[in-house]
Amino acid sequence: MATPLRVLVHGGGIGGLSLAIALARRGHTVEVAELREQLDALGVGIIQPSNALHVMRELGVLDACLEVGFEWEVLTICDPAGNPLAKIPQPRMDGAPANNGIPRPALAQVLGRAAAEAGATVRFGTTVAELADDGEGVDVTLSDGSTGRWDVVVGFDGIGSPLRTRLYGDRYRPEYTGFANWRVTVPRQAGVQGVVMSTGNQAAKALLTPITDELMYLGAVFAEAEDFRPDRERAHEQLAERLAGFSGPVAEALAHVTDPAAVVYSRISQVTVEEPWHVGRVVLAGDAAHASTPHLAQGAAMAVEDALVLARELDAAEDVPSALAAWEARRRPRAMFVQSLSRAVLKQETGTATTPEEDELLKIGIPGAAHVLVKPY
| pLDDT number for residue 323 | 98
Strand 74-78 with 6-10, pairing: unpaired
State how far the alpha carbon of 131 is from the alpha carbons of 138, 140, 149, 166, 202, in Å.
7, 4, 9, 9, 48
Q: Please, which pLDDT band fits residue 352 given cuts at 50, 70 and 90?
A: confident
Instruction: Report d(CA 178, CA 226) in Å as an integer.
Output: 7
Q: Averaged over 259-266, what is the pLDDT? A: 96
| pLDDT number for residue 235 | 98
| pLDDT number for residue 200 | 74
Task: Give me Rg for the CA atoms of the chain.
Answer: 20
pLDDT at 70 over 70: yes
Phi, psi of 57, deg, nearest 5: -65, -40
State how far the alpha carbon of 143 is from the alpha carbons of 13, 207, 309, 360, in Å.
18, 40, 29, 47
Contacts of 351 (CB under 8 A, 6+ apart): none
pLDDT at 290 over 70: yes
Q: Comparing C-alpha atoms, which of 243, 272, 269, 275 is closest to residue 256?
A: 243
Facing residues of 219 across strands?
183, 207
pLDDT at 202 over 60: no
**What is the percent of the chain where pLDDT is above 70?**
98
Q: What pTM, to 2 d.p., does this model score?
A: 0.96
| pLDDT number for residue 201 | 58
- Per the prediction, the chain carries an average pLDDT of 95
| pLDDT number for residue 351 | 81
Phi, psi of 259, deg, nearest 5: -110, 115
Contacts of 49 (CB under 8 A, 6+ apart): 90, 98, 99, 297, 298, 301, 370, 373, 374
| pLDDT number for residue 42 | 66
